[in-house]
Amino acid sequence: MHPEVAAAGYKDLVLFLATAGIVVPLFKRLRISPVLGFLAAGVLLGPFGLGRFVAAQPWLAAVTVSKPDEIAQIAELGVVFLLFMIGLELSWERLRLMRRLVFGLGPLQVLACGAALMLAGIALHQTPAAAFCAGAALALSSTAIIVPVLSDARRLHAEAGRASFAVLLFQDLAVAPIMVTIGVMGAGGGFSAERLLSFAPAALGMAGLVLFGRLLLRPMMRSVVRARSQEMFMAACLLVVIGGGLIATVAGLSMALGAFTAGLLLAETEYRHEVEVTIEPFKGLLLGLFFVSVGIRLDLTYFSAHPLQIIAITAGLIAIKGAVTFVMARLMGLRPAAAAECALALAPGGEFAFVTLGVAMEFGLIERGAGQSLLISVTLGMFAIPALVSLGARIGRGRPAEPAENAPPPDLAQAERVLVIGYGRVGRLVGEMLGRHDIAWVAVDRDPRAAEAGRRAGHNVFFGDAGRLEFLRRLGLANARALVVTMDSPEGAEAVVAAARQFRPDLTIVARARDARHAQRLYELGASDVAPETIEASLQLSEAVLVDIGVPMGLVIASIHERRDEYRKLLNRPDALGARGRRARDALRRRVEGE
């Protein structure tokens, strides 16, 4: 007998999935960030939206979220997965090159904004403790919203985008000290030696996480990949994300920071892009759930009772943080347009304010009414982030960007490189020839041993399935100079050519084929040029024997090129042979198929 299923327990999950199925396609069609859609859906489905009318209209209970606290707990994983993906897109080298912004502009922005907001709180007759807690909480910005919005606007790798991300990264590092400080203030007393030692577990935990990743992460992924199980690979990816976050949590740091560190460690391996493609669906869904949970927290009844007060707090917060951030960015050498763009993106509050202000209210450091006003103001400010980023992008694009000092190297997705699909004997030789002509290239292979050997040789070689368009995009297909397909598998080569041609109609695609029939199929799928192994082998043998028996080299090379062109025309464009060659074409086709 099957156990009875409690359908009501799945109601919130079904509501969220239905929201995602409606919001994402609709808002993408309207060219509006889905973030706004998820936030609005959270407001509508929450207890302060349609939930207010459930008593009068009981049927509305079926379309409202009944357990927002449970959703909020799961939704926090959205930020964790986002930071993991950000870590994958970086590397220790890129982070080292950004250290001036992370540890220069980051502390300046947090300290200056926190101090300015604290002074504003004191001016509004708040106690010094309440003003400090509010200033520290509101100085932090929303990583979960700013990074995806900057990425959608293609501004994440601009000067302002790098500066904004550097500040957000430092803010994540600052969460633990802020929480410890508020805890000390709430418990009473000062910073004794024992309290300062409470930071030691955080440092040891982070060091342990880095050491574990350096020593064991690559061997673990190699073992999983050799099992050739997509399910096991997905499970290993989820283990790395959540495990890294939990290690950081046990050490007293944020779960998101632990996941970011795990991403940085994986970014140095050949599994980077395959992990990105595997984790992306989880990140998208969990981030959507996070934005829904933020909207659920917005108490419209409190807002309707104090609209002018909350709007004034929101506008004041954005104005103060924006002005201070602009000044700090200029002090760090950013151009005026980039500084303004960075300031607009970072001006609203962020998701960590909910945690920080919640702890401060529990300790009684901030009065409940004032804390609720700040929380609603932060939520309204988060609604404004896409519009502020759009305005900043217009300012930033107003004049050409100047090369930034110590700018990190471009991502593979932005670099103009030749993509080599398949890193066996043929792929290695293609890469070697490209390197001799100083042409940048990146390769991928489904054999982890081939990818690992390429990495040991100092080349950009990754493990993954290039037959998926999303993988090719992350490898840099959008800006690739050419695509070379050297795979052994005919089906795999056809999948790569078809996906690449669909995405890039203008791309030069050169493919390896087993025989004439396979070559014809690749031409039909959109390959620019194909090299059938049987035909090329016969042409090379012909060249060798003709030269060895004394035929002049020039005549041999000319005849070989002519013959190769005839084969190419036959396999790619049979009608190009013209009326005079149609009889010869049939005979040539029979010879080709016979070979």
In this predicted structure, the answer to whether residue 187 has a pLDDT above a threshold of 90 is no
Q: In the prediction, which pLDDT does 408 show?
A: 45
In this predicted structure, the answer to whether residue 404 has a pLDDT above a threshold of 50 is no
Q: In the prediction, which pLDDT does 443 show?
A: 93
DSSP symbols for 345-374: HHSS--THHHHHHHHHHHTTSS-HHHHHHH
Averaged pLDDT, 333-346:
91
> Which carries the bigger pLDDT value, residue 491 or residue 578?
491
Close Cβ partners of 267 (under 8 Å, ≥ 6 residues apart): 87, 88, 89, 90, 91, 92
- pLDDT tens string 348-378: 998 778 778 877 887 888 888 888 888 888 8
- pLDDT tens string 33-77: 677 788 788 888 887 777 777 777 777 777 787 777 777 777 878
Q: In the prediction, which pLDDT does 576 show?
A: 39
Percent of the chain whose predicted confidence (pLDDT) is above 90: 13
In this predicted structure, the answer to whether residue 5 has a pLDDT above a threshold of 60 is no
Nearest to 89 by CA among 225, 350, 272: 272
The confidence band for 199, taking pLDDT boundaries of 50, 70 and 90, is low
The topology under which CATH files domain 9-396 is Na+/H+ antiporter like fold (1.20.1530)
Which pair of tokens denotes residue 482? 């050419």
Averaged pLDDT, 457-473:
88
Q: In the prediction, which pLDDT does 272 show?
A: 86
C-alpha distances (whole Å) from 554 to each of 117, 550, 558, 560, 567 are: 80, 11, 6, 10, 20
> Which carries the bigger pLDDT value, residue 54 or residue 343?
343
Close Cβ partners of 551 (under 8 Å, ≥ 6 residues apart): none
Averaged pLDDT, 166-194:
71
> Which carries the bigger pLDDT value, residue 227 or residue 594?
227
Measured CA to CA, the distance from residue 567 to residue 574 in angstroms comes to 9
Close Cβ partners of 463 (under 8 Å, ≥ 6 residues apart): 225, 270, 271, 274, 444, 445, 446, 447, 448, 451, 452
Return mean pLDDT, the chain: 80
Averaged pLDDT, 402-420:
57
Domain 418-594: what homologous superfamily? NAD(P)-binding Rossmann-like Domain (3.40.50.720)
Q: In the prediction, which pLDDT does 9 show?
A: 61
The domain segmentation of the chain, as residue ranges, is: 9-396, 418-594
